[in-house]
Amino acid sequence: MSEPIKYRLESFFWRWAQRRSPRASAVTLRHRSIYVLPSKAGLGFFLAMLLLWLLGTNYQNNLILAVSFMLIALFLVAILHAFRNLAGLRVEGLPAEPGFVGERVELAVELTPARGCRADNLLLALAPELEVRADVAQGKRQLVHLPLRAEKRGWLRPPRLLIKSYYPLGITRVWSWVHLEARVLVYPKPLPASLISASGGGELGDEGQRLKAEDDFIGFSQYQPGASMAQVAWKLYARGAGLHLKQYGGAEQESLWLDFDAVQGDVEQRLSGLCFLALKWHRQGRDYGLKLPSGTLNPATGDEHLHRVLKALALYNLPETD
Amino acid sequence: MRGPASISSSALKWLLLSQLLVLLPLTPHLPLWLVVIAGAMMLWRWQLHRGRWFYPGRWQRALLAVVVSGLLFANFRGSFGVETMLSLLVAGFVLKLTELRSRSDVYLLCFLTYFVIGTQLLFLTGFLGALYSFCCLAAITGTLVMTNASAGGQGDYRPWRTLGGLMLQALPVMLVLFLVVPRMGSLWTVPLNKSAGVTGVSDTMSPGDFSNLLQSDEPAFRVTFNGDLPTAGERYWRALVLDHFDGREWGQGLFQGVNAGRRSAWDQWHEELEPLGRQLSYEIMLEPTAKHWLYTLAIPQSFDDDIYVSRGFTLFQRKPVFQRKQYSVVSALEYRAQSSGLDDRERRSALALPDGYNPLTRRLAAEWAEQEGSPEALIQRFLQFVQRRFHYTLQPPVLGEHSVDEFLWETQTGFCEHFAGSFVFFMRAAGVPARVVVGYQGGQVNPHEGYLTVRQLDAHAWTEVWLEGQGWRRIDPTAAVAPQRIDRGVEYSLSEQDSALLGNALSRRFALLARAQLQWDAFNYRWHRWVMEYDQVQQQAFFQRLLGSAVPWKVVTATLAALALIIGIILLWLLWRRRPEVLPAEQRLYQRFCRKLAKAGYPRGTGESPSNYARRVATARPEHASQLWRVAILFEQVAYAGNPRALPEFKRLVRRLQLRSGR
């Protein structure tokens, strides 16, 4: 009986909190979305205050009472300072680097303090155990990378960001929930896989042998932006000859296809396998294309191509495709 | 790398420093071994932090805990008082220091230290003590600030500023709370184990006791008179009546004891007292004595409710005076006490003498009594005898077994206790009921505040004899030998060599020092009167003065208003620096222009230049094109070309511009 009520109360609370701080790409913390309560240490502080009051009352000693009043006063003032520390802080989500499922991706957030202010001892967390500490100096911006566990491929929308601080005395906990309009692309988890010949007959030969054959070095070509770093002829570059690319493969160099139908397993396993192969071929600097039931990407090389391929794999069959 | 929960170096420094500050004034109230262990632990913790010494293992820590607890137990053996509590607290700190690892440990220690400041204030009640405790409080708060300071901010001035800001802003809030929070009576009694260093008149008197007191210049109490001050000869502050003599020492007999609480109280005192003539009303602020008895002029007529009267017409309270106590008394300086006669038991105790002591005095007293006839004549003869033959000195020769015999008939030099004790012995031997009274005699008028300060060196002993038809009468044999003692004070009645032994020897030599001392005493008096003694009564009076009446809703409203005002000022101060920039006139005008256009349905795009904006709106509203262009050009001239002469026209244009909404 109590479970649903608790659940409903909680969800009501979060809806309320969300209304007070709606999702946006940049959020400035205002009094509407800043909360202050005593921290755990604050309760200890209260206890000390209470004991002092008892001591002062019992011995009818005004000075001891004054100390206990001073503690109350400090607590009140600490609340104001804690609020000031967070108020006016601007939080902006920046474009984030994609990552793979099972890794930690990092959401980049830029913090800008209010005019003429600084923000001390901030703790930012997207998940309770992944806290990051930040201090923002007056008139400066501070870039913070917030770790986030990627569990599913596709666009990862960060959960509400908790920004809290125990500044100035550790007895107050001031915090705010920020719903940042940001997203991180999560690629499928690369899992070793091999291609089955598209024509249906067995595996695509002994891949190791083919690779050896393709590893035959045939010459250098002019560097093109976006080419794989692995293809760069570093020795040549070191001699001062400029950037060149090593060409492998020879005459039978042909485009490879990441074919959704040519890997085994369910959809996710296939996507993981294709992801693995894409990374591998990219490392080897080879031409490859992507064939998914939803569309085709023509063979090419380079980091951008890799990103396009991985993005297509990440978003395959998901409602949000851009 | 340090985790977020670890302790920064500066926080540890502050923690150890503030603990040292807090412990220093408490050392006289702690067992020596605990002080030594605490000091060693702090040193060790610091060395540990510097990487010099090692972290103790679990066994070592357990051993330390056992040793400390054992020593504590052995030290106090179940007696529980403030000093026991204090030792427990300090022991707690010391043991916690050995396992200080994380931030929450620092918090715990800080809160513990806050509490220890409270106990510190049980002993430090003067203004300077309070100031010191305030510094301790700031140091602990500083530790908390350091613990929460930004990582890069260590070693710079910013945490200091934060601390200063916090303390200064908290002060007015504290003052408001101090003034308005209601005071309650004490809830339970935890005695101070022993008030170290408290000196004062004691409930026994033997030769040599008073000369010790005279070495102290400390105030015993201060008196404010509502009206005239009594003359110097009338300033006899009675504390105790000593009626039992064991041959060496005078003490309280069964009859006069005041240590039995309410049982010592005498209910019929009113019937036995007949006040005559002038009455004096005054307030006494007594320094803590850890004793039951209070001081008054003879004889108290009316006084506060929690005070009782003993058989000797002295005042006392049930609980020892551990905190400074203020009480008001009305005394009758002339009176007849128990003039109708003494009851048998009292008479017997006022005549009792130990057997086998001072045979010579006994014999001579009987002879003199026979020769003189009346007790008054006998007293006169004795006083004349003393006046002619005796010397008043702080350094009397040591007396043997028959101390009264030796003093009266051989050495004939002594201090007030010799005179008083011998006189009573002599009178009793002659069959006249007599008793010793101890207290203070004299007092110095403070020229700044008009009150009287009575110091330890004013301690005095005199006597009372019971005369038929007159009751108890004060006789001071010291006045006979050294009248200056009574008229001007003890420092004027002694030889130069003796008075060098007095507690105020230094200030008597230097007038400037004496004046400073008087001023300081006046300040301390005001501090005690207005700060330490601020209680329910004064609080009500304060509300009356401030609000006209002390109705609760008025008080609560005024309090909330005061707090809101303070907090508002603090917030204003905190947020003042983030107020929006004040823009130059042309920018404000241009913003007004943009608002006008926006109202008409043409908001300015982000990053749109004034000329682009004007062009866009002009194409939509050609009828205003020339005005819009003119505004854009003028704005650019004023803002970018720095041409202030274009400003008036720009202003006029912006004001005049009227765009109807819609297209």
Quickly list DSSP for B620-646. Answer: H-GGGHHHHHHHHHHHHHHHTS--GGG
Residue B611 has pLDDT above 50, yes or no: yes
Alpha-carbon separation of residue B519 from B131, B351, B513, B515, B523 (angstroms): 18, 47, 10, 6, 6
Chain B closest-CA separation from residue A30 CA (Å): 12
Candidates A29, A47, A61: best to mutate against B (most CBs of B within 10 A) is A61
Condensed to tens digits (0 to 9), the pLDDT of residues B617-661 reads 888 888 888 888 888 888 888 888 877 788 888 888 888 888 776
Lowest-confidence range among A129-138, A165-174, B382-391, B638-647? B638-647
Average model confidence (pLDDT) across chain A: 81
pLDDT grade, residue A205 (50/70/90)?
Answer: very low
A63–B531 C-beta distance less than 8 A: yes
Closest residue in chain A to residue B124, using alpha carbons only? A63
B29 catalytic, yes or no? no
B152–A80 C-beta distance less than 8 A: no
Find chain A residues with C-beta within 8 A of B108's C-beta: 44
Q: Chain A contact for B117, CB < 8 A?
A: yes
Lowest-confidence range among A207-221, B16-30, B438-452, B480-494? A207-221
Nearest to A41 among B104, B178, B578 (CB): B104
Residue among B416, B498, B521, B624 flagged as catalytic: B416
Q: Cα(B194)–Cα(B202) distance, rounded to whole angstroms?
A: 14
Find chain B residues with C-beta within 8 A of A63's C-beta: 121, 124-125, 130, 133, 531-532
Residue B287 has pLDDT above 90, yes or no: no
Find chain A residues with C-beta within 8 A of B4's C-beta: 123, 131, 133
B578–A117 C-beta distance less than 8 A: yes
Average model confidence (pLDDT) across chain B: 84
Residue among B476, B498, B521, B528 flagged as catalytic: B476
pLDDT grade, residue B561 (50/70/90)?
Answer: very high
Q: Which helix (H) or strand (E) holds A3?
A: helix A2-20
Q: Cα(A37)–Cα(A39) distance, rounded to whole angstroms?
A: 6
Closest residue in chain A to residue B3, using alpha carbons only? A133
B144–A60 C-beta distance less than 8 A: no
Q: Chain A contact for B128, CB < 8 A?
A: no
Residue among B460, B498, B521, B624 flagged as catalytic: B460
**pLDDT value for B166:** 93
Single-letter code of the amino acid located at B25: P
Nearest to A168 among B117, B119, B162 (CB): B162
Chain A closest-CA separation from residue B6 CA (Å): 13
Q: Cα(B561)–Cα(B176) distance, rounded to whole angstroms?
A: 10
Candidates B144, B162, B572: best to mutate against A (most CBs of A within 10 A) is B144
Find chain B residues with C-beta within 8 A of A121's C-beta: 148-151
Residue A321 has pLDDT above 80, yes or no: no
Find chain B residues with C-beta within 8 A of A137's C-beta: 152
Condensed to tens digits (0 to 9), the pLDDT of residues B71-113 reads 888 887 767 777 888 888 888 888 888 888 888 889 999 999 9
pLDDT average, residue stretch A44-71: 92
Q: Where are the domains of chain A?
A: 2-187, 207-315
Q: Chain A contact for B133, CB < 8 A?
A: yes
B125–A116 C-beta distance less than 8 A: no
In contact, B322 and B263? CB cutoff 8 Å:
no
Residue A11 exposed, middle or buried by CB count within 10 Å (0-12, 13-18, 19+): exposed
A123–B4 C-beta distance less than 8 A: yes
**pLDDT value for B3:** 45
pLDDT grade, residue B372 (50/70/90)?
Answer: confident
Nearest to B115 among A52, A131, A168 (CB): A52
B594 catalytic, yes or no? no
- To the nearest whole percent, how much of chain B has pLDDT over 90? 20
Q: CB under 8 Å, gap of 24 or more: what pairs does B148-151 form?
A: B148/A120, B148/A121, B148/A166, B148/A167, B148/A168, B148/A169, B148/A170, B149/A120, B149/A121, B149/B8, B149/B10, B149/B11, B150/A118, B150/A120, B150/A121, B150/A135, B151/A121, B151/A133, B151/A135, B151/B8
B174–A66 C-beta distance less than 8 A: yes
**pLDDT value for A252:** 47
Residue A88 has pLDDT above 50, yes or no: yes
- Residue keyed to tokens 């106590």: B325
Size of interface A-B (CB pairs under 8 A): 167
**pLDDT value for A248:** 63
Residues 6+ apart with CB under 8 A from B374: none
Of B5 and B120, the structure prediction assigns the larger pLDDT to: B120
Q: Chain A contact for B218, CB < 8 A?
A: no
B487 catalytic, yes or no? no
Chain B closest-CA separation from residue A10 CA (Å): 29
Of A249 and B21, the structure prediction assigns the larger pLDDT to: B21
A57–B188 C-beta distance less than 8 A: no
**pLDDT value for A104:** 85
Residue A67 has pLDDT above 50, yes or no: yes
Residue A2 has pLDDT above 80, yes or no: no
DSSP B315: E
**pLDDT value for B462:** 93
Question: Largest Cα–Cα distance in chain A?
Answer: 101
A78–B111 C-beta distance less than 8 A: no
Residue A228 has pLDDT above 80, yes or no: no
**pLDDT value for B466:** 92
B177–A73 C-beta distance less than 8 A: yes
pLDDT average, residue stretch B597-617: 83
**pLDDT value for B394:** 79
Residue A249 has pLDDT above 80, yes or no: no
Residue B572 has pLDDT above 90, yes or no: no
Of B556 and B491, the structure prediction assigns the larger pLDDT to: B556
Residue A114 has pLDDT above 80, yes or no: yes
Q: Cα(A199)–Cα(A308) distance, rounded to whole angstroms?
A: 26
Q: Between residues 276 and 335 of chain B, which touch chain A (CB distance below 8 Å)?
A: 322-323
Find chain A residues with C-beta within 8 A of B111's C-beta: 44-45, 47-48
Find chain B residues with C-beta within 8 A of A170's C-beta: 103, 107, 144, 147-148
Q: Between residues 521 and 560 of chain B, which touch chain A (CB distance below 8 Å)?
A: 531-535
Nearest to A73 among B148, B151, B170 (CB): B170
**pLDDT value for B189:** 57
Residue B212 has pLDDT above 70, yes or no: yes
Residue A116 has pLDDT above 90, yes or no: no
A168–B117 C-beta distance less than 8 A: no
